[in-house]
Amino acid sequence: MINKKGVWFLTLFSLILVLSVYYITMPPELLISTNNLPEQENTTPVVNMEESSILVALRVEADEEMDKEIQELKKIVSNSESTVEEKNEAFEKIKELNNNRSTEEILENKIKEEHNLKSFVKINGNNIEVIATSNSHDVTLANQLMRLVQSNFDTSKNVTVKFQK
């Protein structure tokens, strides 16, 4: 009969054996160490963020926030201890978040079509934030973007426009 120590020994031994075979059969190009590379003096990493990568980062962050909020609301909806009112409020909030997300995408596409600008739009209640990529921080362009966004809503919204280079 094999005891626990024997099982652990065989497991670890077989793992070491597999890794050793993998190491031996690995191509030599992968084994070259970075110590053999020529040294570069005063090297500092340079990070160049493209205009769109900033907007992508903002979109990913907003999507993660929204996903987290939706998950919390789904817990309320699926919880058997939640009241009907709480479930209805959570369901309506989920519906509102989804509507906001689709409206944000529509606005981003309209800005792209009409002004040829990449943008990030975030709707939070009556506040709408627009971040557009543009080399010039033009007041006229900002007003045009504000009018474009406001034209998609029946009620007055607080629209802010920021430009990102």
Alpha carbon 103 to chain centroid distance? 18
- If we measure between CA atoms, which residue out of 45, 51, 47 comes closest to residue 112? 51
Supply the pTM of this predicted model. 0.63
Q: Which of 163, 120, 124, 123 is nearest to 143 (CA)?
A: 163
CA distance 74 to 156: 31
Model pLDDT, residue 161: 92
Domain 51-164: what homologous superfamily? Stage III sporulation protein AH-like (1.10.287.4300)
Q: Which DSSP category does 152 fall into?
A: T
Segments in the chain forming alpha helices (H): 4-25, 51-78, 84-115, 139-150
Instruction: Name the pairing type of β-strands 127-133 and 119-124.
Output: antiparallel
Spans of the chain below 50 pLDDT = 34, 40, 48-49, 51
Model pLDDT for residues 123-143, shown as the tens digit of each residue:
998 999 999 888 877 889 899
Domain boundaries, the chain: 51-164
